[in-house]
Amino acid sequence: MNTIGFRPTEPRELTRAVDRISFLYLERCVVNRDSNAITATDERGTVHIPGASVGALLLGPGTTITHQAITLMSDSGSTVVWVGERGVRYYAHGTSLARTSRLLEAQAAAVSNPKSRLRVARDMYAMRFPDEDVSSLTMQKLRGREGARVRRVYREHAERTGVEWSRRHYDPEDWEAGDPVNQALSAANSALYGVVHAVIVALACSPGLGFIHTGHHRSFVYDIADLYKAELTIPIAFDVAAEEEGEIGGVTRRLVRDALHDGKLLDRCARDIRRLLLPDEPDDVADDGGDVDFDDVSLWDEYVLSVRGGVSYGDAS
């Protein structure tokens, strides 16, 4: 196949974000290019996928991708993310899905202002406390309420499964030092962090600009992951600890993998991020992923915020 000489795609030819497949996961196959489609080939045959129809391509274990396939994905305004099995664990990423910095700028603006940062933090806690009004609580009170909630969740699952529970304890340098339930919690949370990290970079947001967590290059990852622990990773960890069959880390990761996949966490996570950073955006836009302004480069202006790029301003005084 001769792929030399493909012209770059014009922005008007690209598929709108709302019409794309949000995320496509591939594993154990060879990914290549055939004209304006990527191909996935394994022992069962070859599948063609239009490059511009994919928002984010997640490459799992056993995948090999060609240079031309990467070129097509980048040219199509898609991102490629290297992940663990079925989307668990984030390793690296290529070009972001977004050709606009809208979400990133909204994230940076919100985190840089104490009032808007508190608003986002409260919204995050509101997602965890849907039956409570947290709109006037301080961060100190929010942290206290979250701490009490997490302790209650641990206690409830300990009673449900019969697993003895004292406290959350783990040593990143000594995996064996933890008891079975703490080992399972560490494995489950690590898998969740990988998936959330992949979504964040696919949306062109910064993993390091957190609202509740701060000072770490994955602060925003921890913020978003905390939205789902009580319903996903904590119950799975206690179930694994109760059974104590097989290698705890591997069993836990496989169960989390299946739960994240079956619960469509990738799409849900993307919607939640958009709603947190763009609270005034209509829900139907957030659900669809919003439109992407391809290759719209502007110049910053202190009076009108932005002016057109690609214009000679040499005569301006």
Tokens of 296: 């719209």
Tokens of 203: 């949306």
* Cα distances (angstroms) measured from residue 173 to each of 40, 170, 182, 233, 280: 39, 9, 14, 21, 44
Distance CA 82, CA 201 (A): 11
Q: Is 222 left (phi over 0), alpha (psi -120 to 50) or beta?
A: alpha
Confirm whether residue 217 is marked as ligand binding.
Answer: no
Confirm whether residue 146 is marked as ligand binding.
Answer: yes
Provide Rg for the chain, Cα atoms. 22
Confirm whether residue 244 is marked as ligand binding.
Answer: no
* Cα distances (angstroms) measured from residue 36 to each of 13, 81, 88, 177, 241: 12, 20, 28, 52, 48
Distance CA 38, CA 48 (A): 6
Positions at the binding site for Mn(2+): 146, 213, 226
Positions at the binding site: 146, 213, 226
